[in-house]
């Protein structure tokens, strides 16, 4: 049978862009459909604009730290509108750049949402197109708890990049990396921040030393953290927003006033309107694919895939956040390229989801790769794991007077001496862990770390001097 395309990709985010260009490089006729700005969550409303705001938020701390080094910094203020406009301009520049990459690769772009009609047919703007293979790469969207007033009055990580005015007071619901990153960003930019958690600690699933180190530092910096809370709703008043919740062990509701309320309780696969049922694509609960419930809220359905990103329909595939495996941009890119190599490049490959490094761009920052201490002990038992850890004041703050702490940690298999995990809290943790991740991925031992000469004076050298 002759098809309109060899491959039709639904979603022009990181996974869809990578797979479409790679498939086209092998000579495949490829089309991709996207109803939003090209670039997906990472470029448009995630990694890129967030990191730019992280940079902006750090200046307030640097102004204060400069005094310890003899600098006198005068009156300072943030032009919120200029910052937001500059960030949006850069996002749109990157989106146009990705469109250019698609054109150069010979990939046809449809600027509309596509849905499945059957296993080989998609519909875009009322027109139907056939394809030998279909790839779903639609990503995810912010989850919203079903509470009174949340849908009407709260923003998510999507809208926070578009606020016309800086909120003086902001309440953030959530304990994951998005919630804690924005808590630090908004605090650094000068807003009064309250972080409301369902549990007692942030960053569930991360190593406990990271969780404790970041949460304690956030509180020390002046971010108000309220733990063990159950949200009851948000009410709009002439004075602002009233945020209602009940703290564990208390009967009465607590009410906080805020200019904005950010709901950042996690993200769920964006499967609405895809027509998965038309093609018989099977979905499963996210928990069954290795992802726990997000901050106490259940994860919605995700597309079920095998190790080759194939769905229950042999010619339909899915990569990235819509499969709810590891929801990181480089993972979606890797999955997409492995799919294209396997299906169009005569190079059958499986993407490895083991030892994937990640960072949390809080202040202080965190970086992690491999097993946490708890995970390692669960696999090997308490006696099978050796922990090497150091906490210290970084050299930069020896003159600032700030009570900042760095934490570096290695999780080691006692029997084999292999390093199973590396974790860090401190400035440039993501940059440092990226290099450490290579060693962990290659199976380096603690003796290999010990035999490596450190760069002095640096924080990174602590990883090779731990005893």
Write down the residue that tokens 């761009």 correspond to. Answer: 361
**Rg of the chain on CA atoms, in Å:** 23
Q: Are the beta carbons of 87 and 49 closer than 8 angstroms? A: yes
Residues 6+ apart with CB under 8 A from 77: none
Show me where the domains of the chain are located.
5-142+268-344, 150-265, 358-464
**What is the three-class DSSP state of 122?**
strand
Q: pTM to 2 decimals?
A: 0.95
Q: Are the beta carbons of 43 and 66 closer than 8 angstroms? A: no
User: Residue 38's Cα: distance from chain center in Å?
Assistant: 18
Is 423 known to be catalytic? no
Q: How is domain 5-142+268-344 classified at the architecture level of CATH?
A: 3-Layer(bba) Sandwich (3.50)
Which fold, 358-464? Enolase-like; domain 1 (3.30.390)
Give me the catalytic one of 61, 98, 221, 456: 456
Q: Are the beta carbons of 296 and 199 closer than 8 angstroms? A: yes
Q: Which segments of 67-176 does DSSP mark as H helices, in order?
A: 80-105, 150-153
User: Residue 102's Cα: distance from chain center in Å?
Assistant: 25
**What is the three-class DSSP state of 25?**
helix
The per-residue pLDDT string of the chain (467 residues; one tens digit each, 9 = 90 and over) reads 899 999 999 999 999 999 999 999 999 999 999 999 999 999 999 999 999 999 999 999 999 999 999 999 999 999 999 999 999 999 999 999 999 999 999 999 999 999 999 999 999 999 999 999 999 999 999 999 989 999 999 999 999 999 999 999 999 999 999 999 999 999 999 999 999 999 999 999 999 999 999 999 999 999 999 999 999 999 999 999 999 999 998 889 999 999 999 999 999 999 999 999 999 999 987 543 443 333 333 456 899 999 999 999 999 999 999 999 999 999 999 999 999 999 999 999 999 999 999 999 999 999 999 999 999 999 999 999 999 999 999 999 999 999 999 999 999 999 999 999 999 999 999 999 999 999 999 999 999 999 999 999 999 999 999 99
Distance CA 350, CA 340 (A): 11
Fold equal for 5-142+268-344 and 150-265: yes
Distance CA 162, CA 81 (A): 10
Domain at 150-265: CATH code: 3.50.50.60
Distance CA 46, CA 83 (A): 16
């Amino acid at each position: 049978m002759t098809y309109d395309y060899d491959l039709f990709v639904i979603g022009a985010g990181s996974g869809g862009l990578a797979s479409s260009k790679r498939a086209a490089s092998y000579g495949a006729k490829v089309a991709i459909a996207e109803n939003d700005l090209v670039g997906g969550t990472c470029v448009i409303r995630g990694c890129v604009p967030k990191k730019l705001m992280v940079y902006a938020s750090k200046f307030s701390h640097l102004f204060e730290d400069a005094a310890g080094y003899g600098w006198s910094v005068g009156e300072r203020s943030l032009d919120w509108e200029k910052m937001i406009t500059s960030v949006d301009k850069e996002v749109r520049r990157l989106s146009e750049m990705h469109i250019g990459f698609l054109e150069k690769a010979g990939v046809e772009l449809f600027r509309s949402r596509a849905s499945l009609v059957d296993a080989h047919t998609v519909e875009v703007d009322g027109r139907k197109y056939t394809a030998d293979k279909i790839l779903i790469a639609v990503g995810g969207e912010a989850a919203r708890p079903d509470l009174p007033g949340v849908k009407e009055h709260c923003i998510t990580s999507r809208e926070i990049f578009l606020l016309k005015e800086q909120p003086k007071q902001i309440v953030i619901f959530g304990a994951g990396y998005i919630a804690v990153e924005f808590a630090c960003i908004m605090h650094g930019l000068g807003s009064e921040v309250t972080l409301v958690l369902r549990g007692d600690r942030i960053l569930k699933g991360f190593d406990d030393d990271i969780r404790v180190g970041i949460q304690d530092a956030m509180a020390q910096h002046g971010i108000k953290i309220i733990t063990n809370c159950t949200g009851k709703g948000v009410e709009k008043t002439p004075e602002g927003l009233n945020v209602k919740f009940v703290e564990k062990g208390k009967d009465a509701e607590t009410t906080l006033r805020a200019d904005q309320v950010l709901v950042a309780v996690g993200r769920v696969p964006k499967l609405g309107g895809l027509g998965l049922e038309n093609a018989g694509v099977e979905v499963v609960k996210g928990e069954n694919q290795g992802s726990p419930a997000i901050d106490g809220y259940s994860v919605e359905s995700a597309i079920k895939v095998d190790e080759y990103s194939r769905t229950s329909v042999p010619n339909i595939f899915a990569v990235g956040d819509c499969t709810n495996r590891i929801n990181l941009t480089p993972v979606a890119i890797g999955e997409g390229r492995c799919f294209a190599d396997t299906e169009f490049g005569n190079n059958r490959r499986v993407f490895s989801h083991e030892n994937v490094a990640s960072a949390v761009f809080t202040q202080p920052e965190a970086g992690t790769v491999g097993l946490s201490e708890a995970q390692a002990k669960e696999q090997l038992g308490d006696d099978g794991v050796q922990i090497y850890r150091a906490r210290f004041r970084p050299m930069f703050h020896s003159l600032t007077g700030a009570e900042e702490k760095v934490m570096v940690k290695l999780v080691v298999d006692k029997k084999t001496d292999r390093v199973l995990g590396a974790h860090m809290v401190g400035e440039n943790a993501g940059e440092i862990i990226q290099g450490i991740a290579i060693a962990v991925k290659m199976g380096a031992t603690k003796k290999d770390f010990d035999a490596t000469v450190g760069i002095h004076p640096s924080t990174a050298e602590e990883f090779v001097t731990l005893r």
